[in-house]
Amino acid sequence: MTQKNLLLFLFLTPILWCFSEIKKDFNSRDIFKKTSLDSIVPLSKFDFNYIKLKTKKLRKQVSVNEKPCNENTKITKEFIATYLSSQKTVIGDYEYLNPTNYDGFCLKQHKEFKNYNLFTFTYDNGTCCRTLYVATVQKKSLEIINIGVLAFSGSENGWLGDKYGKWIGENVLDMVTVSYYDDDFVEDNNNSRVDTTWSVININQQGILKENNYKRVRYLEGRKME
């Protein structure tokens, strides 16, 4: 080896070694990153802590006229499909909770009881009505015990309705349902009908919901019928 080649070799060797170490460092980082991500064991995504983080504590007044949904309170399609969409409703006009607008679900409030947990959520069907539901679930999971309608507000085809109320005990609600009907919307006819029903909703120790009506008043064309 000539003196010139020797000097060139001595000059390039540290540079080549440096590039080699840099490459090793990047490779080791990639391996570490991949290993770290692959070794993470995902926890259960949905539990009651998930509900609590996205809701407020249960309030005394019950109505759908609360703050609108936001990105934090919206319920994911996965949650709806897993826990809500196939459930029967024990209180309300529809037998099943059958959503047509998956973007209309929002979590609202929660409460923990001795034998079960409870949370409320709203559903806006995107056309006429907004409904507040209550769901009772098992203590150690989100397995649904019962789902029922607590309150609603809406209007469609000559009907206007509202349901609202309040908690009057640890597991008792006093509710009022008002429905107004006017098929033709002609003021001179005065054929409107107004139904008002008072009811009590009880939740037993097992988280079972039951509603009982205790008073009803009906007006037809401005005259009291019952």
* Model confidence pLDDT, tens digit, residues 135-191: 999 998 899 999 999 999 998 888 899 999 999 999 999 999 999 998 655 555 567
CA distance linking residue 104 with residue 99, whole number of Å:
9
Q: 81 pairs with which residues across the strands?
A: none
CB 150 within 8 A of CB 62: yes
Residue 27 has pLDDT above 70, yes or no: no
Q: What is the pLDDT of residue 99?
A: 74
CB 158 within 8 A of CB 184: yes
- Whole-model pTM? 0.76
Q: How does DSSP classify residue 66?
A: S
